[in-house]
Amino acid sequence: MSDAPTIAVERIGNFTDEDLASLCEAADAAIIEGGGFGWVTPPGRQALERYFRGLLLVPERELFVCRLDGVIVGSVQLVRPPRNNEAQAFAATLTHSFIAPYARGHGLAKMMTLRVEEGARALGYHVLNLDVRETQLAAIHLYESLGYTSWGHHPAYARVGGKTVRGLFFYKLLQPGSRIVP
């Protein structure tokens, strides 16, 4: 008999009360640990619930969650370009990825990233873009290991703890035969 946890990633279109509570708890933990998705301090449960409920209403965003033994412990978003952005209609963005600190080490971030890639590829996107704080070394190593190309640094990417931090930008070609042509 195996004691290995059950892990899964899924696209989610609505929440049960339990799922929303688990997602908010995981987000709080990630924010406190420094891996929040834009928040530096936890905004409070009501704000997180409004955020995640509202997120499901945005047509250009898809929310993917990861589960550890059935409980949501992280999420990531696939953002499609708005309809009026024909020039960049070939590219989507992976954003706001986090795993609660108590659920790390099971490969969930990799599973979520691969699931978003699969979703973007199925929708016909040729490029997946993402960015990350330069201090998030585990995320940087993950994206590099999955074939993402770092194309630039932003010297004033974010403000965390009263300090300006640098950021890195990545992309990955998703479709066979895709290439960057200047």
CATH number, domain with residue 30: 3.40.630.30
| Beta strand 127-133 pairing with 163-173 | antiparallel
Query: Helix (H, G, I), strand (E, B), or coil: what is residue 172?
Result: strand
The per-residue pLDDT for 4 is 86
Measure CA of the first residue to CA of the last residue in the chain; give whole Å: 55
pLDDT in tens, 118-161: 999 999 999 999 999 998 999 999 999 999 999 999 999 999 88
The per-residue pLDDT for 90 is 92
Lowest mean pLDDT among 44-48, 95-99, 161-165: 161-165
The per-residue pLDDT for 181 is 62
pLDDT confidence band for 176 (50 / 70 / 90): confident
Q: Is 104 inside a domain boundary?
A: yes
Domain count, the chain: 1
Q: Which domain holds residue 165?
A: 7-173
pLDDT, averaged across the chain: 93
Report the residue count for the chain: 182
Give pTM, 2 decimals: 0.93
The per-residue pLDDT for 79 is 97
Of 45, 35, 36, 101, which is closest to residue 68 (Cα–Cα)?
A: 101
User: Cα angle vertex 89, ends 88, 91, to 5°?
Assistant: 75
CB of 53 within 8 A of CB of 111? no
Q: Is 132 inside a domain boundary?
A: yes
% of the chain at pLDDT higher than 90: 81
Of 132, 141, 152, which is closest to residue 35 (Cα–Cα)?
A: 132
Q: How far apart are CA 119 and CA 61, in angstroms?
A: 12
Q: Is 179 inside a domain boundary?
A: no
